[in-house]
Amino acid sequence: MPSPTSHCGPLQGLRVIEMAGIGPAPFCGMLLADMGADVIVIERPAALKALNTGEAMNRGKRSIRLDLKQDAGLQAAIALINDAAVLIEGYRPGVMERLGLGPAVFEGGNPRLVYGRVTGWGQTGPLAQAPGHDINYVALTGIASLSARPGNAPSVPATVIGDMAGGGMFLAFGLLCAILESQHSGRGQIVDAAMIDGVGTLSALIHSMRGNGLWPTEDAHNLFMHRSPFYDAFECADGGFITLAAIESQFFKEMLRLLELGDVNPASQFDTSQWPALRARVAERIRSRTRSEWIQRLEGSDACFAPILSLDEAAQHPHQQARGNFFRVKDQWQPAASPRFSRSQPRTPQASPVAGSHTQEVLAALGLPPELIAQACALETAAGKCVARGKEVCAHQT
C-alpha cells in the first residue's frame, strides 16, 4: 500500500494546503489526495479532542498542528501556503481574514495561489453569514422537492447532494480549472464554491427537461415523482426494497414479463390515467417475494433493476468487488478513488494520519528553525513533549 507521499496519480507534484474542518472542504482534499496531490492539513492544537472527519476523508494526506493565535504559528502557516499551489478552506465568510490568512496576504508572496473557498450560501448574498447544513442548501435550490412522496415530507440522503456533490466536487473542479488557467496567465484567483450554486448546476438536466416539456409540473403525470408503476422503489415480502427504472418501452415490456403481468398492454406505459391501478399491482407483486428472490429473478435483466442495499451490503456486492470499489481499512469499508485512469492510477485507500504527526517533517522542509517550529506548535506538555491519543508523536521534537 503506497504511503501518503508516494508518487502516484495524475496530480502528483501538486501541493495543497487544507484548513481542517468538516464536510465538503476535507472531501475536496480527499479527492485531490486520492489523485496524488500532496495535501497538508493544518489542524488546531485541540484537533485530537475535536470532531474528526474520519479515516476516509483524511486518507493520503499529511497533518500538522499549528496554533494560529500565536504569531509563530501564523507565520508558519503563511510560509506553508506561500509554498503551495492551492489553499482549501470551508469557514464562514470573513473567518480566514480575521485569522490573518485572507487572499490578500498571499498576493505578493504567492501570486499564482489558487484560493479555494467552499460554503453553503457563498461568499456574498443576504444569507452569506447564516448558518446551515446540507439539507438547507438542497431545499433552497428546489431539488429537495423532487424527493417528495404523497403524504410525506421530502427527504434527501444526508451530506451527499449538498456537501459532497454540490460543494466538495465543484470546489475540486473549480480548483483544477483555476490551476490550468494560471499556467498561461501566471496568476492565481479565488474559487468561490457555494453548495447552493453547485446543487443548482447539478439540476441542469431537470431544468432542460422542463424547458422541453418532458418534466410535467403536475406530480401525477411525472414518472420521476413516485407516481409511475415503472420508476420507483418498492417494498418486498421481507421488508427489503428494490428499485425499478424501466423507462424505455423495451425495458418496460421486459419488466412486465418478469413480473408476470402479461395482461398489461405495454403500449399504455405513459397513459397516466392507468398508473394508479398498475402501480398497485406492481407493488402487490413485489411484496409477494423477498428481496433475495427478486435479486435472483431480476438482477442483470433488461427490467432496469437494482436492490436497495445497506452500506455494508453495497461494499460486498459482487459488482462492486469486481470493480474494486471498496477497501477494508482498519476494519472499516472505504470507497475507492474515482475516476479511473489508463496510466496514472489513484492511491489505494489507507489509514488517515494522526493529527499533527507531520508537523516536524513539513515545517523543517520549509527551512524553519526548530525553535520557531516549537513555538508554532504551542503544544508542549509539562514534560516538553507533544502528546497525541496517549502516545508520543514527533510534532516538534528535534
Task: Just list the catalytic residues.
Answer: 133, 163
Q: Residue 171: count other Cβ atoms within 10 Å of its Cβ.
A: 29
Supply the DSSP string of 35-54, one letter for each residue. Answer: TT-EEEEEE-TTGGGSPP--
Q: How far is CA 133 from CA 56, 121, 153, 183, in A?
A: 21, 10, 18, 35
Calculate ∠ Cα 191-194-198, nearest 5°: 100
Rounded Cα distance between 68 and 71, Å, is: 7
Which helix (H) or strand (E) segment is 279 a member of? helix 275-286
How deeply is 123 buried, as exposed, middle or buried, from its count of CB atoms within 10 A (0-12, 13-18, 19+)? middle
| Cell representation of residue 378 | 504551542
Supply the DSSP string of 168-180, one letter for each residue. Answer: IIHHHHHHHHHHH
Rounded Cα distance between 342 and 72, Å, is: 44
